[in-house]
Amino acid sequence: MRISGARKTTLLDVLAGKKISEIRISGYPKIQETFTSILSYCEQNDIHSPQVIVRESLIYSAFLRLPKELNDEKKMVKNY
């Protein structure tokens, strides 16, 4: 990984839709719905328990951060 300040987190925030930005990927406009269904990451300031696996941490984060309108089943979808 690059040095601190290289804008890695900013890139992930843009791809995840946390920052508003009009970007293109391979020349095509980014479709947020596509990225929302395949992209997930834990921020560097998240605290993770060594007693749980990565998937459990991501699910916990999803329930805390995704909109209430998204049902529990959608929050638990496996995309692998």
Q: Are residues 65 and 46 in the same domain?
A: yes
Task: Supply the range of the domain harboring residue 8.
Answer: 1-39
**Separation between Cα atoms, residue 13 and residue 74, nearest integer Å:** 21
Q: What is the pLDDT of residue 78?
A: 59
Among 53, 42, 54, smallest CA distance to 18 is for 42
pTM exceeds 0.75 for this model: no
Q: What is the pLDDT of residue 64?
A: 82
**Separation between Cα atoms, residue 36 and residue 15, nearest integer Å:** 9
Number of structural domains found in the chain: 2
- pLDDT tens digits along 36-77: 777 667 666 667 788 888 888 888 888 888 888 888 888 887
The residue written with tokens 């916990």 in the block is 60
**Separation between Cα atoms, residue 53 and residue 33, nearest integer Å:** 26
28 token code pair: 């095509």
Backbone angles phi, psi at 12, to 5 degrees: -65, -40
Q: Are residues 48 and 60 in the same domain?
A: yes
